[in-house]
Amino acid sequence: MAALPTPEQICDICQANALVRASDSWAQPVQSISTDSRNLAAGHVFVALRGDRFDGHSFVETAAAAGATVAIVDQAFELPETLGDAVRCSILQVEDTLAAYQALGRYWRQQFVGPVVAVTGSVGKTTMKELTATALGTQGTVLKTQANFNNEIGVPKTLLGLADDHRYAVVEMGMRGLGEIELLAQIAEPDVAMITNVGTAHIERLGSEAAIAQAKCELLKGLKPNGIAVLNADNPRLMETASKVWSGKTITFGLEQGDVQGQILDSGVLEVDGQQFKLPLPGRHNALNFCGTLAVARALGIDWAELTALELTLPDGRSQRHDLSNGVALLDETYNAGAESMAAAIQLLAQTPGQRKIAVLGTMKELGDHSVRLHRQVGGVVANQGIDLLLTLADPAEADALIGGAEAVKSKAFERAEDLVDYLKAEAKKGDRILFKASRAVALDKIVEQLKAHWS
């Protein structure tokens, strides 16, 4: 990292007007930039963001009292008398504090000499981010997106965590509409842009898979001129859309085609170009993700020989298996759900050794007019994969669609979580493998925790 900016330089970076200029620190480099007034000290910069349910401007005095060197405020902020020249905190006024925060994130990133890998896609972003960060971690320290910090606030927050000891950065990018990923890419300026796939997530907001593909491929517009796109060759809509946006270097991956094409062996091993790799996560979809990770490694010149036996644990609600004392195994995929990730989870359940295969499925949110059709489609996957029992905790129309699509599969719909829990406590048997998958708002994770506690 280059030298950190001074308050004077921050004024230029954010195009700010100095309401208060603290002379003793004006030319001293700052140490950290934060939007949280609770953890500030001398040398820190406080950015007062506004939101629907919060206003950081209420804490500017608190930040100054804590010793913050700089507070960044917007045009609506009125300077209290207590924040006059006697306070050792420069007050910088900007048009928009969020835009200033993003500008600082971009500046911080531009001081970083290592490669930045950006990851987006309809499903699998977090898994791909974790896999890629783990692979790059074999070469040195990696900064990666934490939790769900993948939006207009989370991406600059991540980049502002870059430090001298980081060799790589892996930044996840999410979106709700057109133009959002393009903005995030402008902030992160990635050297490698990974797009996992294009599916139906957010179709309610964007209207069609074509629009979703357009939104995801905005990432390619932010690539450095000598950057590399890493794309899922098994996803035709992605490849078609990407070809209209990016003409630079590309490495494709897939299980059916691609520059990095994998073959799943019966032993839970992936073979690519004659090399064998232990799959750190189960399921065909995760084998595809691993191919993407190998493609990123190739883009960065990393020897695959160091990636043959990666160990990985994902955050809660993703690819979690809980083996309980009564011989039942819970497959926890409760973090979120779209049609594609639902199908992948059901296929994983079908491939999991055990006795009965039970799918507990809830509503997939944000599907709009496509909701019933896509829930029926998921029900069809339940039937095609030979699942023994389908239990639903879903909105009425979606529950009917799931059960209707599952056709002859034994099914039961629940309106209350409590009733579903009681049913499973009474009916689950040794050897059962039970999948839980729905949008986060359905809160199937709470059911998983109750069953774990009951059978602990």
pLDDT digits (tens, 9 = 90+) for 238-272: 999 999 999 999 999 999 999 999 999 987 899 99
Spatial distance between the Cα atoms of 70 and 266, rounded to a whole number of angstroms: 59
Percent of the chain with pLDDT over 90: 87
**DSSP structure class, residue 233:** T
pLDDT per residue as tens digits for the range 96-118: 999 999 999 999 999 999 999 99
Using the structure block, give the residue that is written with the tokens 């207009």.
152
Nearest-10 Cα torsion for 396, 399, 400, 402: 160
Mean pLDDT throughout 13-27?
93
Spatial distance between the Cα atoms of 360 and 91, rounded to a whole number of angstroms: 53
Q: Which two tokens stand for residue 78?
A: 């009125």
Predicted local confidence at residue 2, as pLDDT: 60
* Of 75-89, 155-169, 335-349, the least confident: 75-89
pLDDT band at residue 456 using 50, 70 and 90 as cut-offs = confident
Spatial distance between the Cα atoms of 107 and 124, rounded to a whole number of angstroms: 29
Spatial distance between the Cα atoms of 390 and 379, rounded to a whole number of angstroms: 9
> Are 396 and 368 spatial neighbours (Cβ–Cβ below 8 Å)?
no
Predicted local confidence at residue 447, as pLDDT: 98
CA Rg value for the chain: 24
- Strand order across the beta sheet in which 70-74 lies: 17-20, 90-94, 70-74, 44-47, 32-34
- Strand order across the beta sheet in which 260-265 lies: 142-144, 168-172, 116-120, 192-195, 228-232, 249-254, 260-265, 269-272, 275-278
Domain 7-95 belongs to what topology?
Answer: 3.40.1390
Q: Does domain 320-454 have CATH number 3.90.190.20?
A: yes
pLDDT per residue as tens digits for the range 382-434: 999 999 999 999 999 999 999 999 999 999 999 999 999 999 999 999 999 99
Q: How many residues does the chain have?
A: 456
Q: How far is CA 255 from the centre of its chain?
A: 23
State which CATH number among 3.40.1190.10, 3.30.460.10, 1.10.8.640, 3.30.470.20 fits the domain covering 112-307: 3.40.1190.10
Count of beta carbons in the 10 Å neighbourhood of residue 165: 9
Q: How big is the CA angle at 172 (ends 337 and 364), to the nearest 5 degrees?
A: 10
The ranges assigned to domains in the chain are: 7-95, 112-307, 320-454
Amino acid symbol at 118: A
